[in-house]
Amino acid sequence: VLGWGIEFGSVGCGVGMAAAKIRKAGGAAADELEEQVGQALCDLEGSGSEFKADLRELTIASAKSVDVAGGKKAIVIYVPFRLLQRYHRVQTRLVRELEKKFSGRHVIIVGQRNIVPREKTGGRLHSQKRPRSRTLTKVHDGILEDLVYPTEIVGKRLRFKTDGSRLTTVILDPKDQQNAEYKVETFQSVYKKLTGKDVVFEFPVTAE
C-alpha cells in the first residue's frame, strides 16, 4: 500500500521497471504520484488485460493532483503528445481501471503541449514562424478537448461578466450525458487549474 492508500499487485513490469513508463523532460526524477501512475500502468500491462498490447508502448510525461469540488482530488496525467492518439484508442477502459486503482479519484489524460510565445514587434523570438498549434488559444482548446474525451464538444458560448472577466460555457454532446455528467465539476476545476480560465460544461436540453 503506497502513500495514497493504493494497493498494487505484484504483476506487471515490477516496481523497478515502473520508471520505464515515465519520460519526464530533461530526465527529471519522478515524484511519488508519478511513480504510482507508472506502477499502475505496469500492473495493468502485466495483468493479462485485454488491452495489454496497447499499453506496452505507452508512457507518461508527468502527473499532478488537483483539488476538485467536494474536497476531492483528481489526477491529471500528462502524456507525450505523439502518443495521445494511442491513448485515445484505450482511454475509456484505461481510465476506468486507473480510477479503480486510485480509490475512485477521477483520472484525466491530457496531451503535453508547449506554448510558443507571441513574436515580438520589430523582431522575432524564434527563427521560424510560430505554428498555430502552439499558440495560447490553440493549446487551451486542445486541453479542453482532452479533458472531455471521448465526449465531443458541440458548441461554445462566451459571456463577459460585470468585472470584465470572461466565462466560457462549453456544450457537450448529449449522447454522452449519462457517462460524463458526473465529471463536469472535475472538468471545470482541472481546466481552471491548468489554464487559469473559468469554464462551465453543460449538456443541451433535448425535447422529450
* DSSP three-state, residue 163: coil
pTM of the model: 0.84
Specify whether the CB–CB gap between 79 and 110 falls below 8 A: yes
> Could you tell me what percentage of the chain is helix, strand and coil, using 3-state DSSP and rounding each to the nearest 5?
45, 20, 35
Cis peptide before 80 (omega within 30 of 0): no
Can you give the pLDDT of all 208 residues of the chain as single tens digits? 344 444 444 344 655 578 889 999 888 899 999 999 999 999 998 877 677 888 988 999 999 999 998 889 999 999 999 999 999 999 999 999 999 999 989 999 999 998 777 666 555 555 555 555 678 889 999 999 999 999 999 999 999 888 888 899 999 999 999 999 999 999 999 999 999 999 999 998 765 5
- The CB density around residue 168, as the number of other CB atoms within 10 Å, is 16
Distance of alpha carbon 89 from the chain centroid:
15
Specify whether the CB–CB gap between 147 and 190 falls below 8 A: yes
Neighbouring residues of 12: CB distance < 8 A, sequence distance ≥ 6? 39, 41, 42, 43, 44, 45, 46, 47
Amino acid at 202: E
Tell which residue, 144, 118, 137, has the closest CA to residue 129.
118
